Amino acid sequence: MHEALNTQTMTDQAVALAGLLRQARRAVVFTGAGISTESGIPDFRSPGGIWTRMMPIDFADYVADPAARKESWRRRFEMEETWTSVKPNEGHIAVAELMRRGIVGHVITQNIDALHQAAGVPANQMIELHGNTSYAKCLDCERRMEIADIRAHFEAYDDAPACPNCGGIIKTATISFGQAMPEGEMERAEAAVAACDLCLVAGSSLQVYPAASFPLKAKRKGAALVILNREATPQDPYADLVIHDEIGPVLSSAVKHL
Ligand code: NAD
Ligand code: ZN
């Protein structure tokens, strides 16, 4: 009986979400680590998440301390199997479907896993605020380098290579705590949010700024705000609809009720 009650609530919420989506023509979906947990990638702040096991390495430490860089690469190589084998889940697939139907114009993500693109979101409608871990870049000249080549060097010399172009420090193409946000992606996100009629947050604790400022900006410009997250977020009081449930089942049910 308890289960039936939960199912009923979930369907009601998915129907309410579908109702808002049906009225939207240029919605923005704003995602965080929570949309990828159903693919098997742990998030930061859930119990047992990455945060509780490993302190992230700040940008300043990465630049200043060779030992921090080594530790960062060691962690990255440890994750290689995960990053290359992981698949989009029904949440990513529902978002891509909303885009195909012309309801969603852009996806803004804090994730570095490229799973939205793997589900079919075109690159020109994708905004990656915290970069992408599938390759690396020189911090000075931005020359692209492949993870496999860096790994081979690391295994031979117990260190990552310097940039072959300028001698600069190589880092995965992700944004660490303390690192400047990518200007182009920030501008694209500002434009998408200014033009959107609905902002759907899925799987973000909305605690990491400046990324977390985008949903509130959308709301201030007159867009409807929906927050779909397992636990409460600081922006729940400003939302038109709050759903505290699992992302994959709710989003795929909402697509079915469109
Ligand atoms: P976060 O860990 O702070 O928050 C994730 C939220 O998602 C939590 O509030 C959690 O309750 C919720 N959640 C988890 N699984 C869910 C599910 N199946 N259904 C509904 N809700 C669920 O993540 P954040 O807000 O993205 O911020 C953390 C930072 O860490 C980001 O900047 C991101 O770049 C990075 N990160 C990325 C990945 C990835 O690329 N997949 C993974 C971990 C961390
Ligand atoms: Zn360089």
User: What's phi and psi for 160, nearest 5 deg?
Assistant: -75, 155
pLDDT beneath 50: ranges in the chain: 1, 3
Tell which one of 30, 35, 44 to mutate to probe ligand 1, the residue whose CB is within 8 A of the most ligand atoms: 44
Residue closest via CA to ligand 1's atom 17 equals: 246
Q: Which of 17, 36, 43, 58 to mutate to test the pocket of ligand 1 (most atoms within 8 A of CB)?
A: 43
Pocket-forming residues, ligand 1, beta carbon under 6 Å: 32-34, 36-38, 41, 43-46, 49-50, 110-113, 130, 203-205, 207-208, 229-231, 246-247
Q: Do residues 116 and 126 touch, judged by C-beta distance below 8 A?
A: yes
Domain boundaries, given as residue ranges, for the chain: 23-41+87-130+181-258, 43-85+133-174
Tokens of 62: 């990465």
133: CA distance to ligand 1 center in Å? 16
pLDDT of residue 43: 85
Q: What is the pLDDT of residue 35?
A: 98
Residue 42 is predicted with a pLDDT of: 85
CA of 59 to the centre of ligand 2 (A): 17
CATH topology of domain 23-41+87-130+181-258: Rossmann fold (3.40.50)
pLDDT for the residue numbered 5:
54
- What's the CA-to-centroid distance between 143 and ligand 2, angstroms? 6
pLDDT of the residue at 4: 53
Tokens matching residue 94: 């529902």
Whether 23-41+87-130+181-258 and 43-85+133-174 share one fold: the answer is: no
136 C-alpha vs ligand 2 centroid, how far in Å? 11
pTM listed for this prediction? 0.93
Q: Are 108 and 30 in contact (CB under 8 A)?
A: yes
What is the pLDDT, as a whole number, of residue 1? 43
Give the residue whose CA is nearest to atom 23 of ligand 1. Answer: 33
Structural class in CATH, domain 43-85+133-174: alpha beta
User: Which ligand neighbours the alpha carbon of 145 most closely?
Assistant: 2
The number of the ligand nearest the C-alpha atom of 163 reads: 2
Q: How far is CA 224 from the centre of its chain?
A: 21
Distant-in-sequence contacts of 141-146, Cβ < 8 A, 24+ apart: 141/165, 141/166, 141/168, 144/173, 145/170
User: Residue 32: what residue type?
Assistant: G
Query: In 3D, which of 241, 182, 189 has the Cα closest to residue 213?
Result: 189
Catalytic residue flag (residue 130): yes
